[in-house]
Amino acid sequence: MSDPFLGVTASLSGRRWVGPSGETLRRAAGLAQATGLPEAVTLVLARANVTAEDADAYLDPKLRDLMPDPSVLRDMDRAVEVIGAHLKRGSRIAVFADYDVDGATSAALLHDWLSALGVTPTLYVPDRIDEGYGPNTPAMEALAADHPLIICVDCGTLSHEPIASAVARGAEVIVLDHHMGGETLPDAAAVVNPNRQDEDGAFGHLCAAGVVFLTLVALNRQRRADGLACPDLMGMLDLVALGTVADVAPLIGLNRAFVRQGLTVMARRHRPGLVALADAAKLTSAPAPYHLGYMLGPRINAGGRVGRADLGTRLLVTRDPGQAGQIAAELDLLNVERRAIEAEVLHAAKAQAEARGTDGALVWAAGETWHPGVVGIVAARLKEAFNRPAVVIGLEGNEGKGSARSISGVDLGAAIALLASEGLLLKGGGHKMAAGLTVARDTLEAAMDRLDALLARQGADTAGVADLHVDALVSPSGATADLVESLERAGPFGAAAPQPRFALADARVAFHKRVGENHMALTLSDGVHKLSAIAFGAYDSPLAPAIEGLSGQPIHLAGRLELDDWGGRRKAKLRIEDAALPG
């Protein structure tokens, strides 16, 4: 085990600080020498195993270089054939979408593409509480009555009975999904899913919006071959970027190009719904992955969680700025409501998990009438707090509906799918890092015990408090806007591509104040240069008391550098994530 970074074995949050490995440092030094790039950038490249020869391509990911032939995905050609045939016949087309951001962006992509051809599809988003996740038989039968083609996006891979009911009524069904497939596929005309069991997994990192975009690429290719007009796809990349980041898809390979170029499209502010949502969220700078994941995504999700399920989709497809403003304002209010519900459920769930014990492979909690719209967020919070896979379930009547979140290296989706096949769950599925489930009340304990055992086989019970990985030291004088801008070239940062984390050794706090309900704003100084900083949630953690009690003494700080445009002057700012008192 390597020596702790700055000697920090237990920070204020109880974490050990870990620096880059010697091998990573050696590769970074070699890259710096070969490319002339700043050391901070080469550290990011070395961490991603990028060679000097590939550095330029990595720093400037091009869609044309990373885009595969869509036909490599099974059933893609069949999906294109079926959709093309229905367009020629003038069939009514329905899009059945999941209620989260990935579902909303996927539906909006299809809506935009079809609308450009003069076709207005019917958009259907199921209610989270009344209908649950994915296609259900009554909805599919109703859609099949007057829609010869139904396209299911971000759902459908495990929906055998609902799809069969639609097919029995004469509709053709196409599934464009990314969730883990079972041993058999539903009776759909095509199931395009890089996570089918008969796929090689090369594009398993795509979210549903990415799969839909590849399908549209394939459709455009066929239309060009037939001499037909093709809608512009590049202007739709803002939707793909939003879906990719909000669904926490790993930012590797093709996803990097989707997000990098999608952010550029979004910055043009051409989509009324996203413009209105950014304004409601008080986003004043150019959008970055952080904004998509923590400001825009949660607001779109709020409709499906505690409001009307189709609000997010309606926002993304509207071309009316007035309507966009109304929907965005409603989503903003629902997001406030969602946060309040989440805080209440989190308090109860955390207490229950701690009482049950957090040393096993799984932490879980279940409560009466816990809102199904927040159980996924609460599961993520428990996962972060205990560094264990977590399940949170809302009980009502004889059933419980819940969400699960995993830690790195533990395939939670496979374990949930196995439980469902064994009959311990009424329904369950997802992917490695996240899953959903429905369980009978009388088998809840047995199901969680079995899940704990399955996860223990993957080593989930051996994980300690998560280490905090630090990439490099920085000083207030070195933390400049130029440094942050050079690092942005190595982005986008997100899942599987973490934003570099810097540490300030023996930092001096020149000024601090409370902002908002529980945040702290600080000014750090080395005696000559100053650096602004923000610590979100500081007053809900040991950080604020520690800083207030420093009395001029130094403190080690760790966090991410970002650009602050406040006042029209670009400068670096530290978003503090952890702190430690010098030994």
pLDDT per position as a tens digit, 263-277: 999 999 999 999 999
Residue with tokens 């550098």: 561
* pLDDT exceeds 90 at position 221: yes
Residue 1: pLDDT band with limits 50, 70, 90: low
Please state, in angstroms and rounded to a whole number, the distance separating the CA atoms of residues 572 and 560: 10
Q: Which CATH architecture has domain 70-330?
A: Alpha-Beta Complex (3.90)
Residue with tokens 């650009």: 563
| Mean pLDDT, the chain, integer | 94
Decide: helix, strand or coil at residue 392.
Answer: strand
Backbone dihedral angles phi then psi of residue 173, each to the nearest 5 degrees: -125, 135
Mean pLDDT of 109-127: 97
Q: Whole-model pTM above 0.85?
A: yes
Between 308 and 110, the higher pLDDT residue? 110
Backbone dihedral angles phi then psi of residue 94, each to the nearest 5 degrees: -115, 145
* pLDDT exceeds 90 at position 566: no
Decide: helix, strand or coil at residue 148.
Answer: coil
- Token pair belonging to 514: 């409370």
Q: What is the pLDDT of residues 515-526, one digit of tens each?
A: 988 999 999 998
Q: What is the pLDDT of residues 549-560, one digit of tens each?
A: 998 899 999 999
Q: What is the pLDDT of residues 467-507, one digit of tens each?
A: 899 999 999 999 999 999 999 999 999 988 999 999 999 99
* pLDDT exceeds 70 at position 452: yes
Within 13 A of 327's CA, how many CA atoms are on the CB side?
A: 26
- Which residue, 571, 492, 500, 581, is CA-closest to 534? 571
- Tell me the C-alpha to C-alpha distance, in Å, between residue 59 and each of 41, 56, 267, 486, 490: 10, 5, 19, 10, 5
Q: What is the pLDDT of residues 345-382, one digit of tens each?
A: 999 999 999 999 999 999 999 999 899 889 999 999 99
- Tell me the C-alpha to C-alpha distance, in Å, between residue 53 and each of 45, 187, 251, 392, 423: 11, 46, 21, 46, 51
- Which residue, 183, 164, 163, 206, is CA-closest to 76? 206
pLDDT at 569: 79
Q: What is the pLDDT of residues 396-409, one digit of tens each?
A: 999 999 999 999 88
Residue 576: pLDDT band with limits 50, 70, 90: very high
pLDDT at 465: 74
Q: Which CATH superfamily is domain 5-19+470-580 in?
A: Nucleic acid-binding proteins (2.40.50.140)
pLDDT at 552: 84
| Contact assessment for residue 476 and residue 564, using Cβ atoms and an 8 Å cutoff | no
| Contact assessment for residue 15 and residue 384, using Cβ atoms and an 8 Å cutoff | no
pLDDT at 200: 94
- 357-461 has CATH 3.10.310.30 classification: yes
Report the b/e string of 476-503 with b at 16+ CB within 10 A: bebbbbebbeebbebbbbbbbbebbbbb
Residue 307: pLDDT band with limits 50, 70, 90: confident
Decide: helix, strand or coil at residue 456.
Answer: helix
pLDDT at 567: 66
| Contact assessment for residue 313 and residue 323, using Cβ atoms and an 8 Å cutoff | no
pLDDT at 128: 86
Between 449 and 462, the higher pLDDT residue? 449
Mean pLDDT of 565-573: 81
| Contact assessment for residue 447 and residue 441, using Cβ atoms and an 8 Å cutoff | no
Residue with tokens 């399955």: 454
* pLDDT exceeds 90 at position 462: no
